[in-house]
Structure 1
């Protein structure tokens, strides 16, 4: 399970260190793709296969299903850590998430998310006030 929040810097070639706490669970190969809210989703192979199976079940006759699967899979790339425990994020994914230098890497249960630091800070500022309301709406019976 992935939990926690870590700040890292990306170099000019798009390489960034993956937090030590996440490396073992990500394994030797993992998938990075476009996520929601203009961040990147990082899946270990096992979780990626589960997600792929779920998306494969969506009806291709539905326009929204086709659009979502195209968006999700077309941005996906398989990654490995280099000897310095960095990943090289492709330019198209860096552009999508607005990643430049300061990044935040967060654990979200079965996946890791990579955010531009300013975007993450803004998201947290906007979401903090609504947190109690969200919890109430999700967990009330």
Structure 2
């Protein structure tokens, strides 16, 4: 399980260092083989390759005749990029994905269970501010009765 937030920086070669607390798990579960793809929220999703495969299979099984499904396939599967952690635990973020998520230097890696989200730091802060709208009791119906 990946959880927590880590503030990172892209280096001059557009790589980021995976936090040490995740490296061993990623090396043992997938030999450091990851898939990075685009998310509709304009962040990037990073999956260990074994976790990605059933998602890709499910997305590819959606009807290509449904315009919304086809758009989602194009976005998520079409932008999927296989990457490998190097010996120093660094991961390269390719230019098209960096541009999609507006990643320049300051980034945030957010654990989301079986995957990570990779955000531009400023966009992440805006996401957190937007999430605070629930403080006034404007909870979505599916969260009514939910307690932390």
Q: Structure 1 length normalisation: TM-score?
A: 0.90
Q: Which residue of 2 aligns with 1:102?
A: 106
Task: Tell me, in whole angstroms, the C-alpha distance in 2 between the residues paired with 1:20 and 1:128.
Answer: 30
Question: What CA distance in whole angstroms lies between the structure 1 residues aligned with 2:117 and 2:83?
Answer: 14
C-alpha spacing 1:133/1:54, structure 2 compared with 1 (3 Å): farther
SS at match of 2:41: helix
Query: Which residue of structure 1 aligns with residue 24 of structure 2?
Result: 24
Cα distance in structure 2, aligned partners of 1:127 and 1:139? 13
Indicate which of 45, 66, 71 corresponds to 2:49.
45
- What corresponds to 2:91 in structure 1? 87
Partners of 2:48 and 2:115 within 8 A in 1: yes
Measured on the aligned residues, the alpha-carbon RMSD in Å equals 1.7
CA shift at 1:23, angstroms? 2.3
Count residues in correspondence: 140
Compared CA separation, residues 75 and 130, structure 1 to 2 (3 A):
same
1:137 CA displacement: 2.4
Separation of aligned partners in 2, 1:129 and 1:13: 37
Structure 1 gaps, min length 5: none
Structure 1 residues 48-87: aligned runs within 5 Å: 48-87=52-91
Deviations 1:103-138 (A, max 9, x none): 10000112101000000011101112326644x622
